[in-house]
Amino acid sequence: MNALKVKVCGMRNPDNIREIAALAPDYMGFIFYEGSPRYVGKSFFIPEELPATVKRVGVFVNESTQTILSLASLNRLQAVQLHGNEPVDQCDAIRSAGLEVIKAFAVDDHFTFSDLKPYESSVDYFLFDTRGKFYGGNGLPFNWSILQRYDQQVPFFLSGGLSTKNLEEVFRLTTMNLYALDINSGVEVSPGMKDVHQVDQLIHRTRKGFSTNL
């Protein structure tokens, strides 16, 4: 039985990073895309005391492989989340460098899951987010029943407007290869600043209320 993982994304404030890290999420995401309101900035550094048990994820959008690997080395990232139109060969190159690869796809009612097939052997996880104005952080869930069309071959992160308010609906997805929840705007007080109490509640309830044997 595997417990559902939790990733807290869009982190950039050092004190807030330390507060959230104390809640022991499985992953913490840092956005290196300048077009995001949660962009970490050019002088950002991850606090040294971030526990090794929290995996560091760099989020990139249509960035060069060289830049991604350089920032991954500088920030000691363990995983890379590709949130743009990155091709399969780029996923292969990043994965060959020893990093976990999470390939994100924007989902709506017309999403074609067959588009995932070429990526299946080149990524560790998919991430399904709500198609919207921005590449991520739109703050709205998509129609999760669409995931019934997915063949469940690659475990996935679920993203898009997740909060304590819709966790019960998440817990109904027990027949799917759901690996982790990706939380961001649904637990914020402002872009990049997470509500510690809300995150604490979400992590506690997730670990208590969901397990899967997929």
DSSP 56-92: EEEEESS--HHHHHHHHHHTT-SEEEE-S---HHHHH
Confidence band (pLDDT; 50, 70, 90) for 139? Answer: low
Using DSSP's 3-state secondary structure scheme, residue 93 falls into helix
Residue with tokens 């330390």: 18
Question: Which parts of 5-143 fold into alpha helices (H)?
Answer: 14-21, 65-74, 88-96
* Closest by Cα among 140, 138, 214, 142 to 178: 214
pLDDT (tens digit per residue) in 180-208:
999 998 899 999 999 999 999 999 999 88
- Whether the per-residue pLDDT at 138 is higher than 60: the answer is no
What is the count of structural domains for the chain?
A: 1
Cut 0.75: pTM above it: yes
What CATH code is carried by the domain that includes residue 147?
A: 3.20.20.70
Give the residue numbers spanning the domain of 48: 2-212
What amino acid positions are annotated as catalytic residues?
Answer: 9, 129
